[in-house]
Amino acid sequence: MSFFSDFMAGLTERFGPMAPLMLVGLLGLLLILIALPIVMKRQRDRFRELKDLQPKAGEDKKRALRKTERMDKLEKFAHFLEPQKKEELSAAKLTMLRAGYNGKNAVRMFHAVQFLLAILFLILGLIIALIKSFSQEMTMTSVLVHSLLPCAIGYYIPRYWVNKRVKQRQTEIIQGFPDALDLMLVCVEAGQSLDQSIIRVGKESRSGYPALADEFDMVAQEVKAGKERIAVLKDMAERVGVPDVASFVTTIIQSATFGTSVADALRVYSADMRDKRIMRAEEKANMLPTKLTLGTMLFTVPPLLVILIGPSIYGMVTMLTQLAAGL
């Protein structure tokens, strides 16, 4: 007990009164890091092992797939890095698809990056608090702010990045969709089928609008794989999350259902999309004077007031000074 008391006294003398709390926090973090591999350890699936041992046709291909699966470092942490509810997992996959991350491990990687950044920022915050304790006394509130605030920032940085990517891709798709419809209309009127026109539009849109080209390429590949065109187009509308694309899919489905001309439907809808793009440009132009009002008030009105009222104020101050001196 005397050794422990001397140790704590020396620690408090060196690092300040918050040294015991910081020591407990570091020990807790160390215990968490030690316990994480045990908690996230994947249990053996006997049925899956028996299934892998059964000989099947194309064994070399299956073995290559299993080898690739073993190379997935995050698969054994899937129950920890993925939502357990089916609805939450589907929503997370949809968000990652809208952000452009269409890999099967996108959700796991997202949550892994969230967890690692939170731990890293927490450690950095504790190190900063420890360094500050050398020069000044740290209260418990300061320690919590220096540790929990960076942890929260590190946790929300990946979510902010994904949301930003979703908005950027949706904006890019909205901007390029009218041009893609015009090109599709030209292809259809030239005699190509709708599937061939989708492939051509995806190829031609690659340089200007890569996000839109990726979506059209995915549609073409799914149709080639044998999936129904209506289901593929509905999946595209849900995956993109843009109202213009959803309306386009509805138009194509109705045209195919009622047997009307696809070219006529595309001609009418592409004209609407062009009008919509002009209206969006006019809306931004009309909003510009309102946005510039604040900047005008901050950077134009004060200098103008100084120029107009400054000499009068200076003259009044001079006159009052002379009167005061005369009295």
Average of per-residue pLDDT across 199-214:
88
**What is the Cα–Cα distance from 217 to 199, expressed in whole angstroms?**
6
Q: Are residues 159 and 188 in the same domain?
A: no
Q: Retrieve residue 144's tokens.
A: 């919590």
pLDDT digits (tens, 9 = 90+) for 213-245: 988 998 888 888 888 888 888 888 888 888 888
Helices 106-135 and 86-98 meet at what angle, rounded to 10?
A: 80
The pLDDT-based confidence of 3 (bands split at 50, 70, 90) is: low
Residue 186 confidence (pLDDT) above 60: yes
What's the pLDDT score for residue 57?
A: 43
Q: Are residues 20 and 137 in the same domain?
A: yes
Average of per-residue pLDDT across 173-180:
89
Residue 65 confidence (pLDDT) above 50: no
Handedness of CA 173, 215, 236, 65 (dihedral sign): negative
Q: Are residues 236 and 247 in the same domain?
A: yes
- For residue 244, the one-letter residue type is D
Q: Are residues 134 and 208 in the same domain?
A: no
Q: Give domain status of residue 314, yes or no.
A: no
What's the pLDDT score for residue 296?
A: 79
Q: Give domain status of residue 235, yes or no.
A: yes
Q: Dihedrals φ, ψ of 190, to 5°?
A: -80, -5
Q: Are residues 160 and 198 in the same domain?
A: no
Q: Give domain status of residue 261, yes or no.
A: yes
What's the pLDDT score for residue 163?
A: 92
Q: Give domain status of residue 208, yes or no.
A: yes
| Cβ–Cβ < 8 Å for 183, 201 | yes
**What are the helix (H) ranges across the chain?**
2-15, 19-39, 46-53, 59-70, 78-81, 86-98, 106-135, 140-189, 194-204, 210-224, 229-240, 243-258, 262-299, 301-326
Q: Give domain status of residue 32, yes or no.
A: yes
**What is the Cα–Cα distance from 165 to 116, expressed in whole angstroms?**
20
**What is the Cα–Cα distance from 99 to 166, expressed in whole angstroms?**
4
Per the document, the length of the chain is 327
Q: Are residues 193 and 152 in the same domain?
A: no
Q: Dihedrals φ, ψ of 208, to 5°?
A: -95, -40
Q: Are residues 148 and 195 in the same domain?
A: no
Residue 93 confidence (pLDDT) above 60: yes
Residue 286 confidence (pLDDT) above 60: yes
pLDDT digits (tens, 9 = 90+) for 298-318: 888 888 888 888 888 888 888
Sequence-distant (6+) residues with CB within 8 A of 326 are none
Q: Retrieve residue 88's tokens.
A: 């939450």
pLDDT digits (tens, 9 = 90+) for 99-109: 888 877 888 88
> Domain boundary residue among 168, 184, 209?
168
Residue range of the domain that includes 160: 2-41+75-168
Q: Are residues 6 and 132 in the same domain?
A: yes
How many domains are contained in the chain?
A: 2
